[in-house]
Structure 1
Amino acid sequence: MIEFRIEEDSAGMRLDKFLRKKLANVPTSHLFKMIRVKKVRVNGKRAQPEQPLAAGDTISIRGTQEQLLAPSAPEERKPPPPPAVDPSELDILLEDDWLMAVNKPSGMAVHTGSGITGGTLVDYVRAYLGPKAVRNDFTASPAHRLDRETSGVILVAKRRPAMVHFTDLFTNGHPRKRYLTLVKGKMPRDSGVINLPLAEHQQTAESKARRGVNMQDAITRWKVIRQSSEAALLSCVIETGRTHQIRRHLVAIGHPVAGDKKYGDFAFNRDVRARWGLKRLFLHAEFIEFPHPAHQGKVAVEAELPPELKDVLKRAALDPS
């Protein structure tokens, strides 16, 4: 019989994933069979492969160390190093042992993806943390996303329990988030609510063919900060976290976000670029409030509007100051 005790930084990991790490020389199919025939127990009880583990849990496995524990693995070929980035360029708004809040600039992708191979927020965070980026098999990672062209506050989990906390929060709780955006035209009133379901952004063609377009509830609350005859500076609070929610909602009511190359008014974008110098999407994640993953106390983080967007507001005579 061998036993493992779950430490705090492994809390939230699935049982099957934990076993694959600890018993690397045991075939995955055999691990599942061991769980099925009750050779693996958690706190003395029958276990399920997908069950999340909690700090203090004890995993008991029938078998000897010689049978189950992996020998030293041969040295593997190391992957090529990521593109060099200067971590001093990272604008850190808040940091403790559990998390970081970073002010992401416009133009920086959060993760690698189609056509993006480096210079991401992930690269900067891990370069800044160095060896501390990895803790008990968990690597510090962003807890949510911002569009590449959107600037502002983004949270990074430095420990696995923090990521578990944020994943649940963004999936079910929706932390309070506030954005600043510049939109085309004169708003009909000082504030309003857009309650308009949006099509699932990443639904596959197979899924659409099988069950039709999946519509998701989406609510955006907006408030006018400054207004002219041509444009309005808005504060937006989202109660749901759909992809491109603010951009899609505002264009749906006839007020596209300035500088939006995907959903925006292209003639308006050309005009504000020429007259006001706007060269990017005018959308900034200004504020986020959330319960801390360790003590559950409220934490509020704010990111000041970037200088290039302040300049646009001055030229448009919409500077709120």
Structure 2
Amino acid sequence: MDKNENDQRIDRFLKKYLAKAPQGTIYKFLRKKRIKLNNKKAKPEDMIFEGDTIKFYLADETLDSFIPDMEIVKGSVKLDIIYEDENIILINKPKGILSHPVNKDYGDNIVDSMVSYLIAKGDYVPRIEKTFTPSICNRLDRNTSGIIIGAKNYEALKDINEAIKNRDIKKYYKCMVKGRVDKDILLGGYLLKNEEKNKVKIYSEEMEGTKEVKTSIKVLDKNNDFSLLEIDLITGRTHQIRAHLSSIGHPIVGDGKYGDGKINEFFKKKYRLESQFLHAYKICFNGLTKLDYLNGREFEAMSPAIFYNIEKEWF
């Protein structure tokens, strides 16, 4: 086993490695010692670590039938890389680009393009890896630009996901909203998602199906017509920032789903703004154990040129 298979249950590893095998078959192989860990019978809950050996006492054709063919889709997005080391890669995602592949958008997304980039560099070799493919740790809506965290190995993925789950990694957004916001605010509420319409609504009280949301707002600049805000997304729900700001009468400029139609039309005609003025511009790392060298470090992603020009003119 190499570092990308380190510190996980053997049954979870086998479910990924023998992805075409029924779950019951995998447990049967373990029970009958057709699969051994370090030359000994293994239980499903046994942990595997870097340097361990797993041996299969199966016919080659049987083993081959359970191992899926690894399909690598060539990515088409030119990556704007903010930072990179042996464990992670920080990418400034353009608006209009998906974080993950959906339907026919294979290749035209950050994940596929990141994997293609790492293969070309030699940082990821699919034929050698058994179960791990480089992955991203956070997602942004198609029309939200900003920082995406990519993990190059399994240990990095686990460490970053755990820190995000514990809210130790802080992600900050910049947006321009309708109206004057005079002071910093901590917004609370409850979000309900309409799956059919892919739209959410914020309520002041808990209801069936709602999830609690918290959004921290810091005023960066303001005038009588608009405000420039920094958003600390304390809880990360679908469309949370957009819906929360709209619910208090300060929708994001350019937001076609939750915004002000007249304002959107004005910015579309004058600046050709086709989507919400929302950018995930800063990330602060903390709470990491394996990647502790990143703790205390901050990274920023440059705003799209159209946002920069609008901000310069209005503030």
Structure-2 separation of matches of 1:283 and 1:24 = 39
What do the CA deviations read for 1:72-123 (whole angstroms, capped 9, x no partner)?
A: 73898886x746626xx31111111111001111111111114534311122
Letter in 2 for 1:270: E
Following superposition of structure 1 onto structure 2, how do residues 94-243 of structure 1 map, counting pairs within 5 Å?
94-114=83-103, 116-130=105-119, 131-133=122-124, 134=126, 135-173=129-167, 175-187=169-181, 189-199=182-192, 213-243=208-238
**What SS does the aligned partner of 1:73 have?**
helix
1:303 aligns with 2:296: no
Specify whether residues 112 and 27 from structure 1 end up closer, same or farther in structure 2 by C-alpha distance, changes over 3 A only. closer
* Equivalent residues of 2:271, 2:306 under 8 A apart: no
Structure-2 separation of matches of 1:265 and 1:159 = 43
Letter in 1 for 2:189: L
Letter in 2 for 1:171: K
What fraction of aligned residue pairs are identical, expressed as a percent?
A: 29
Structure-1 separation of matches of 2:111 and 2:292 = 26
How much has 1:226 moved relative to structure 2? 1.4
Following superposition of structure 1 onto structure 2, how do residues 47-126 of structure 1 map, counting pairs within 5 Å?
47-48=43-44, 53=47, 55-56=49-50, 65-67=56-58, 73=64, 82=73, 85=76, 89-114=78-103, 116-126=105-115
Letter in 1 for 2:76: V
How much has 1:275 moved relative to structure 2? 3.5
How much has 1:31 moved relative to structure 2? 2.2
Structure-2 separation of matches of 1:95 and 1:152 = 16
1:3 matched residue in structure 2: none
Backbone CA RMSD of aligned residues: 3.5
How much has 1:192 moved relative to structure 2? 0.8
Moved more, 93-102 or 258-267: 258-267
* Equivalent residues of 1:40, 1:47 under 8 A apart: no
What do the CA deviations read for 1:28-55 (whole angstroms, capped 9, x no partner)?
A: 4232245568997879897445x7x453
1:294 matched residue in structure 2: 290
Structure-2 separation of matches of 1:48 and 1:228 = 62
Aligned length: 295
**What SS does the aligned partner of 2:141 have?**
coil
Structure-2 separation of matches of 1:22 and 1:69 = 15
Following superposition of structure 1 onto structure 2, how do residues 270-285 of structure 1 map, counting pairs within 5 Å?
270-285=265-280
How much has 1:15 moved relative to structure 2? 2.5
Structure-2 separation of matches of 1:192 and 1:21 = 45
Task: Output the TM-score relative to the length of structure 2.
Answer: 0.79
1:209 matched residue in structure 2: none
* Equivalent residues of 2:17, 2:130 under 8 A apart: no
Specify whether residues 41 and 110 from structure 1 end up closer, same or farther in structure 2 by C-alpha distance, changes over 3 A only. same
Structure-1 separation of matches of 2:53 and 2:194 = 40
**What SS does the aligned partner of 2:166 have?**
helix
1:252 aligns with 2:252: no
**What SS does the aligned partner of 1:217 have?**
strand
